[in-house]
């Protein structure tokens, strides 16, 4: 399909994203969309840029569309909220294949349908580089509560939901082997290309009184745990315990059977899009029963620093501005 004008793009968008007026009072086509907010809203925005966040060498158009939306949905999940709608900004270079945009919108719309998300509006422009910008918003679920990062205390239990380290492995294999990595590393490649936002789990957490705080893991535990701690007025550090972390066979295979090396990948991670949270210790069994995938990883401390077996942990994870 050759898109020759902005109207061609808008017709294509209309095909994949029919209006849903129950979420948005006035959607695409006017100067602004109109939102009827039933409660407090949480809002997030992210960029998804070629050769920084993805490479077309191993991301299909469907993968790009899916992940551009998924990383934003994950922010809403980290608040324990229900995603409602989003806006989309497109940076459009020349000489993309004719089927690129239909396939892109197919991948994005499939995820939007999963969460009944409305595309409320956006913008597009020619550009030297392919890029996607999204702004997404959500609202509290049945609990009426939004989770934040700043309420945990010393002695609270730390937990993760998801499989930290797998997306990092998938990225490394894709960079080395391209799409051929799928043959031997299917789960880790899928973790990188198609992360699963933990929306259901986030809403369960928001309904558990003992959960002190939560955030999504986007840049790896090594980066995101210090960010979590910065918001806690009394819990300045953590003592980690990875004894109950289950390691995927692909991660162990890559680490040549070394649990220590595999756990290093879990710690550094990046692109995980799971959840990191804290709860009071009495609530941990209830939490793990409600979310069997939740894994205890340590305890918050009043003592600054992050330690494992009394040794300081490496603090490097993904940073947009590091080379």
Binding residues for ATP: 122-123, 149, 218
Q: Which residues contact 272 (CB under 8 A, 6 or more apart)?
A: 162, 163, 164, 165, 166, 167, 168, 191, 195, 217, 218, 220, 221
Burial level of 256, CB count in 10 A (0-12/13-18/19+)?
exposed
Question: Which stretches of 241-294 are assigned E, i.e. beta strand?
Answer: 274-279
Integer Cα distance of 87 and 119 in angstroms: 6
Residues at the binding site for substrate are: 53, 271, 318
61-78 and 199-206 helices, crossing angle to 10°:
0
Residues at the binding site for Mg(2+) are: 31, 44-46, 75, 123, 216, 219
- By residue count, the chain amounts to 323
Say if CB 235 and CB 300 are below 8 A apart: yes
Q: Which two tokens stand for residue 195?
A: 């992360």
Say if CB 216 and CB 83 are below 8 A apart: no
Residues at the binding site are: 31, 44-46, 53, 75, 122-123, 149, 216, 218-219, 271, 318
The torsion defined by the Cα of 68, 69, 71 and 76, in degrees rounded to 10, comes to 160
Element (DSSP H or E) covering residue 226: helix 221-230
DSSP-derived secondary structure letter, 50: B
DSSP-derived secondary structure letter, 38: S
């Amino acid at each position: 399909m050759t898109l020759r004008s902005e109207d061609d793009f808008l017709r294509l968008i209309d095909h994949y994203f029919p209006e849903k007026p129950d979420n948005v009072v006035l959607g695409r086509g006017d100067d602004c969309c109109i939102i009827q907010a039933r409660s407090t809203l949480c809002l997030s925005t992210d960029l998804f840029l070629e050769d920084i966040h993805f490479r077309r060498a191993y991301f299909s158009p469907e993968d790009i569309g899916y992940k551009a939306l998924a990383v934003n949905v994950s922010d809403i999940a980290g608040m324990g909220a229900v995603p409602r709608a989003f806006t989309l900004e497109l940076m459009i270079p020349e000489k993309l294949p004719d089927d690129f945009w239909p396939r892109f919108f197919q991948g994005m719309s499939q995820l939007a349908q999963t969460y009944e998300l409305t595309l409320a509006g956006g913008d597009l422009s020619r550009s030297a580089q392919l890029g996607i910008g999204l702004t997404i918003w959500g609202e509290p679920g049945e609990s009426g509560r939004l989770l934040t990062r700043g309420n945990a205390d010393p002695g609270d239990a730390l937990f993760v939901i998801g499989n930290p380290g797998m997306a990092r492995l998938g990225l490394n294999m894709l960079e080395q082997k391209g799409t051929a990595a799928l043959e031997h590393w299917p789960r880790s490649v899928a973790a990188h290309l198609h992360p699963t936002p933990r929306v259901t789990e986030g809403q369960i957490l928001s309904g558990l009184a003992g959960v002190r705080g939560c955030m999504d893991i986007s840049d790896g535990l090594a980066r995101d745990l210090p960010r979590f701690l910065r918001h806690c007025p009394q819990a300045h550090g953590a003592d980690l315990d990875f004894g109950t972390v289950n390691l995927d066979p692909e991660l162990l295979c890559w680490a040549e059977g070394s649990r220590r090396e595999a756990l290093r990948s879990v710690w550094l991670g990046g692109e995980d899009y799971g959840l990191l949270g804290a709860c009071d210790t009495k609530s941990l069994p209830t939490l793990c029963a409600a979310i069997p995938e939740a894994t205890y990883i340590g305890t918050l401390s009043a003592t600054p620093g992050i330690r494992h077996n009394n040794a300081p942990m490496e603090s490097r994870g993904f940073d947009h501005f590091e080379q």
